[in-house]
A and B are shown apart, each in its own frame.
Chain A
Amino acid sequence: MAQFLQVLLSGLATGSIYALAAVGFSLVWQAAQAVNFAQGEFVMLPAFLVLIGEHWLHWPLWAALLFGFALSILLLGLAFKRLIVQPFGPDGGLPLVIATMALSILLKEAVKTFYGAEAEPFPSLIPNGDFHIGGAVISVRDVLNLAAALAVVMLLTLFLDRTKTGRQMQAAAQNPGVAEILGIDVARMTLYAFLLNAALAAVASFLITPVYLAKFSNGESLGLVAFIAAIIGGFNRIRGALVGGLLIGVLDNLTATYVTLSYRAALPLVLLIAVILWRPQGLLGDAEARIV
């Protein structure tokens, strides 16, 4: 029982970070019908931007984090939208998908060439330590990671549901034509979705990299997991992406502990294939409605 609790909690902690990437993924998908195959690299890169601030510019950690965050939003939000997605017009289709695949190669190779191919330790923002509850060893990092990720998703949901800008974003995503007539600046709302995605990716990066070390290839599995989480939850729901992320995190950990270690990576893949074949709208999604 104690072990189960431990496994469950650390699964939720990783899953909540997957969820951040998955939520960003769905935001961009809804706002611009763009499936970002570089999403995993979007989570890989911000950690390296922080490392650049720390090791190359010799800044203190807080300044490096700020630098990494700001540069991520600029590069992965603004530049990604302007330089990669926008030239394709409203319906990018396959060429856009290919372009984001090329982007993932570009980001990976750039980090590998200019920073290094070795895994780098990344400063943890959270004190290491454990506390014991009835025999279970609970890591402080897991609890705080989970809390931070959940707080971010909750804030985002509040922003989208309760603020004027958030509601305008939803309108722009659901029906750009009508939103435009109602005086909503659709282009600006779309840009916000991209900026939010970049911010979510940066947060996910800062939370997950201390666990796995910073490596140029980190994005390869992360991107797939983020997409799987988004699909399983239902592409059109933020709550869906959250549930999908948590579910994968937990199931992954449970499989690794109780079923098979060598095939743990297979579970999300099988889950993805099953969901796409039998319930393409996702576990929580509706067939048609699109809600940011």
Chain B
Amino acid sequence: MRAHREAIAVAVVVAALIVAPLGQGNYIAYLLCSWLMLAIAAMGLNLTLGYAGRISLAQASFIGIGAYATSIVTLAHYPWVLGMAVGVVLCFLVGLLLGFPALRVRGHYLAFVTLAFNSLFFLVARNEDWLTGGTYGLSGMPRPRIGPVSTSGQLAFYYFTLAVALLAALVLRLIVRSPWGRAFKALRENEVRAESLGLDVRRLTLLAFAIGSAYGGLAGAIEAPLVQYIDPGSFDVVQSLSLLLMVVVGGLGEFWGPVLGSAVAVLLPEALRVTAAYYLMLYAIAVILLMTRCPGGLIGLARRIAARPARRRGAAVS
């Protein structure tokens, strides 16, 4: 019943997303693309943080790795798919490496280790001009071609991004629903019990980091042709922080949480027509309030509100 309802909701949302940019001009399509791109990165972070319970403040650096890899490959006139694959695999491997500290330390220690990693990535991107273009960055990345179809138009690129995002969501869904995904959750809830049930905690932690990072790489592979200009500043620690907030605001460990959280961060300020500075302040205050009142994020809040009348009804019966 519940799965049924969710399937209908997803179908409605996808249909809405297909018609949303029609007749709206390029800017709306661009905005929707950046939202979907960040949603992919946030979904990956949600696997690491929400499902496996390991904090990471390095997701922006993985978007960066994916974006630089894609840019370098496509600027050398190889196809986008190759660039994307290089970026995703690279992120998977680096994420695996970054997972090792997570085996030893937790919580804020891990937060700072990953933050340090993001800062290191920023330094490398800024200093290694021969590879990354240094502070000037890279520009003019071509949009991908799918067979005979070019996605150089904003609308075409939007549908391409939507397809990639849906595919990414589907794959993540399969991962989360598989015995693996349940093992991730067991890991978050009670590590000792997870281990005593025979789960390989080491491997699961590393995998959570690697897959989560690979999603960051995929987002980067979208960002490069979307913005067609990247520089180290686009992937700094502030960006990682904002991705983390997206995941938490949406709802940790909620499958659709990151999609909602990134919408709040990207689409809502546009819809409300407030300037970025005021919006960020209000957003920060809202996050603090949300954390004190409802650490489960917006989806947690919605669940709580939905559960309330049911309880009242139950009370009336008894």
Q: Which of B101, B127, B238 contacts A263 (CB 8 A)?
A: B127
Distance in Å: Cβ of B52 to nearest Cβ of chain A: 13
Nearest chain A CB to B201 CB, angstrom units: 18
Whether the pair B101, A94 counts as a contact (CB closer than 8 A) is: no
Interface contact tally, CB-CB below 8 A: 110
The reply to whether B105 and A84 contact each other, CB–CB distance below 8 Å, is no
Confirm or deny: B88 has a beta carbon within 8 angstroms of a beta carbon on chain A: no
User: Of the 9-residue stretches B59-67, B218-226, B274-282, which lies at the interface with chain A?
Assistant: B274-282
Interface 9-mer from B70-78, B208-216, B240-248: B240-248
A260 and chain B: residue at smallest CB distance: B127
A277 CA to B116 CA, complexed, in Å: 13
- Stretch of A69-77, A99-107, A171-179, A194-202 lying at the B interface: A99-107
Of the listed residues A104, A109, A112, the one surrounded by the most CB atoms of chain B closer than 10 A to its CB is A109
Are A277 and B120 also in contact (CB < 8 A) when A94-B55, A106-B284, A110-B281 are? no
B112 touches A262 (CB 8 A): no
Contact check, B112 vs A227: say whether CB atoms are below 8 A apart.
yes
- The 0/1 profile, CB within 8 Å of A marked 1, for residues 227-269 of chain B is 0000000000110010011001000100000000000000000
Taking A102-B284, A106-B285, A109-B277 as contacts, is the C-beta distance between A277 and B104 under 8 angstroms? yes
A106 touches B113 (CB 8 A): no
Could you say which residues of chain A place their CB within 8 Å of the CB of B123?
262-263, 265-266
CB–CB A84/B116 < 8 A: no
Contact across chains for B104 and A98 when beta carbons are under 8 A apart: no
What is the CA–CA distance of A130 and B120 in the complex, to the nearest angstrom?
35
Q: A9 CA to B107 CA in the complex, in Å? A: 35
A95 within 8 A of B: yes
Q: Once the chains bind, are B241 and A105 in contact (CB under 8 Å)?
A: yes
For residues 257 through 290 of chain A, which have their beta carbon under 8 Å from a beta carbon of chain B?
Answer: 262-263, 265-266, 269-270, 272-273, 276-277, 280
* B108 contacts A97, C-beta separation under 8 Å: yes
Instruction: List CB contacts (< 8 Å) of A118-133 with chain B.
Output: none
Say whether B104 contacts A280, CB under 8 Å.
yes
Given known pairs A101-B244, A277-B101, A280-B104, the reply for A109 and B109 (CB within 8 Å) is no
> Is B115 an interface residue when CB atoms closer than 8 A count as contact?
yes
Which of A84, A113, A231 is close to B112, meaning CB atoms less than 8 Å apart?
A231
How many residues of chain A have a CB within 8 Å of chain B? Answer: 38
Judging by beta carbons under 8 Å apart, are A113 and B278 in contact?
yes
Provide the residues of chain A in CB contact with B164, threshold 8 Å.
none
Closest CB-CB distance, A30 to chain B, in whole Å? 14
Secondary structure at the A interface, as helix, strand, loop or mixed, is helix
Dominant secondary structure at the B interface: helix
Q: What residues of B have a CB within 8 angstroms of the CB of A109 in the complex?
A: 277, 280-281, 284
B144 at the binding interface (Cβ < 8 Å)? no
Q: Check B79 for interface membership: any CB of A closer than 8 A.
A: no
Q: Determine, out of B23-31, B167-175, B287-295, the stretch whose residues face the partner at the interface.
A: B287-295
| Chain B residues in 8 Å Cβ range of A228 | 112, 116
**How far, in angstroms, from A95 to B295 measured CA to CA in the complex?**
6
A276 proximity list for chain B (CB < 8 A): 101, 104-105, 109, 112-113
B162 within 8 A of A: no
B-side contacts of A262, CB under 8 Å? 123, 126-127
Q: Contacting B120 at CB < 8 Å: which of A94, A231, A269, A280?
A: A269
Answer whether residue A161 sits at the interface, using C-beta atoms and an 8 A cutoff: no
Distance between A55 CB and nearest chain B CB, rounded to angstroms: 20
CB–CB B292/A94 < 8 A:
no
What residue of chain A has the Cβ atom nearest to residue B295's Cβ? Answer: A95
Residues of B within 8 A of A106 (CB): 280-281, 284-285, 288
Q: Verify if B85 is at the interface (C-beta below 8 Å from A).
A: no
- Answer whether residue A87 sits at the interface, using C-beta atoms and an 8 A cutoff: yes
Q: How far is the CA of A104 from the CA of B245 in the complex (A)?
A: 12
* B151 contacts A by Cβ under 8 Å: no
Q: Is the CB of B111 within 8 A of A97?
A: yes
Q: Is B139 an interface residue (CB 8 A)?
A: no
B154 contacts chain A at the CB level, 8 A cutoff: no
Contacts A/B (CB < 8 Å), 28 sampled:
A35-B108, A35-B111, A93-B107, A98-B245, A98-B287, A101-B241, A101-B244, A102-B245, A102-B285, A102-B287, A103-B284, A105-B280, A106-B280, A106-B285, A109-B284, A110-B281, A224-B112, A224-B115, A228-B112, A262-B126, A265-B119, A266-B119, A269-B117, A273-B113, A276-B101, A276-B105, A276-B113, A277-B104
A-B complex: 4 closest residue pairs judged by Cβ atoms: A106-B284, A102-B287, A269-B116, A95-B295
